[in-house]
């Protein structure tokens, strides 16, 4: 069966510090991978999605970046965090195109202070 | 650009009541529409997926309908229970992008 791992579960970082959140998927090949952010009082915002190694699409301008060094690994990074980067970050995966379900990780609660 | 709206933002009902959650989307050219459940501080759990060619999907006490022409979907929950308390999100999928989510409806079922 397929599983998705996301860590850490919680993270408190000072403004200006770097960020690295990691997500891995097991039990499937060539998944589509996604990073979403959920800020307090706001909906789920798509940040990045990837259909293959090295293929990253960005949905919104920001100081975040994403990388996919391996087929089932997706990393969200920042060189310098802002207060506005606080939120609940969710990684998700799917297979195929168009009609597939989306499966989510358990999320990382990031607080930038 | 696709926009997904959910009404109401919050809903409180007594146990046993049947209820309907609403979702609307601006661009009817979707591949599918999905309903998710999110418990506080947790990830999302997929509840139902309706393909663009389908009208509804059912799972237990849940029934989701889709009307592409009007840009609407509804999630019907029968005989609500306190364990149904959570935030329910709908999301529309289009080609060339990923799921676009509404802000959700937070449901509270009192015993």
Using an 8 Å Cβ cutoff, are B73 and B90 in contact? yes
At residue B41 the predicted structure's pLDDT band, cuts being 50, 70 and 90, is: confident
Half-sphere exposure of A63 (CA within 13 A, CB side): 14
Over residues B49-92, the pLDDT tens digits come to 999 999 999 999 999 999 999 999 999 999 999 999 999 999 99
CB contact under 8 A, A43 and B102: yes
* Chain B partners within 8 Å of A74 (Cβ): none
Size of interface A-B (CB pairs under 8 A): 59
pLDDT at A99: 47
Q: What is the pLDDT along chain A (113 residues), one digit of tens a residue?
A: 888 999 999 999 999 999 999 999 999 888 999 999 998 777 888 899 898 898 998 877 678 999 999 999 999 999 999 999 999 999 999 887 654 788 899 999 999 99
CB contact under 8 A, B41 and A103: no
* C-alpha dihedral, B34 to B40 to B43 to B44, nearest 10°: -10
Mutation target among B9, B64, B98 for the A interface, most CBs of A within 10 A: B98
Over residues B80-109, the pLDDT tens digits come to 999 999 999 999 988 767 788 999 999 999
pLDDT at A98: 52
pLDDT at A70: 93
Identify which has the larger pLDDT, B97 or B26: B26
Angstroms from B90 CA to nearest CA on chain A: 10
Whose CA is closest to B108, among B91, B88, B86, B76? Answer: B86
Whose CA is closest to B93, among A77, A27, A29, A92? Answer: A92
A73-78 and A19-26 beta bridge pairing: antiparallel
């Amino acid at each position: 069966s397929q599983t998705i791992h996301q860590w850490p579960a919680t993270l408190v970082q000072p403004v200006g510090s770097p960020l690295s959140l990691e997500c891995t998927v097991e039990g499937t090949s060539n998944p589509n991978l996604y990073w979403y952010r959920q800020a307090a009082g706001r909906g789920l915002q798509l940040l990045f999605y990837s259909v293959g190694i090295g293929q990253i699409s960005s949905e919104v301008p920001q100081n975040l970046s994403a990388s996919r060094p391996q087929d089932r690994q997706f990393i969200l990074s920042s060189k310098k965090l802002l207060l506005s980067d606080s939120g609940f970050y969710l990684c998700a995966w799917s297979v195929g195109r168009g009609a597939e379900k989306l499966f989510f990780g358990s999320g990382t609660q990031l607080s930038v202070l | 650009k696709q926009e997904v709206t959910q009404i109401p933002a919050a809903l409180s009902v007594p146990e046993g009541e049947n209820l309907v959650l609403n979702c609307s989307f601006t661009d009817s050219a979707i591949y599918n529409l999905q309903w998710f459940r999110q418990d506080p501080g947790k990830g999302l759990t997929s509840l139902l997926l309706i393909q663009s060619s389908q009208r509804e999907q059912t799972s237990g006490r849940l029934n989701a309908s889709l009307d592409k022409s009007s840009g609407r979907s509804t999630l019907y929950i029968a005989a609500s229970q306190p364990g149904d308390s959570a935030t329910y999100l709908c999301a529309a999928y289009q080609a060339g992008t990923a799921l676009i989510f509404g802000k959700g409806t937070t449901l509270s079922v009192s015993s």
